[in-house]
Amino acid sequence: MADLILGSIVDSITEHLVSLVAQEIGLISGVKREFEKLRGTVSAIAALLREAEKRRIEAED
C-alpha cells in the first residue's frame, strides 16, 4: 500500500518537474530568438550610422 502511495507521489513530482523543464526550455528558446532579432537590429543601425558618418565626412570636403 505504501509503495502505491509513494509511487503515485513520485509520478506526480516527476510530471511536475518535466513540465517545469519544458517551460524553461521554451523560455530559453524564446530569449534566443529575441536576441538574434536584436542582434540583427543593432547590426542594421550600425551600418546606417557608418553610412551617415561617411556622408557627413564627404559633405565636409
Site of grid cell 518535466 = 18
Q: How far apart are CA 5 and CA 14, in angstroms?
A: 14
1: helix, coil or strand? coil
Length of the chain: 61
What is the structure's pLDDT at 2? 73
| Mean pLDDT, contiguous 10-residue spans, the chain (61 residues) | 84 94 92 94 96 94 79
Domain that holds residue 49: 1-60
CA 49, 43, 30 angle in degrees (round to 5)? Answer: 145
What is the structure's pLDDT at 58? 92
* CA 45 and chain centroid, separation: 21
CB atoms within 10 A of CB 22: 10
Count the domains in the chain: 1
What is the structure's pLDDT at 6? 84
What is the structure's pLDDT at 19? 94
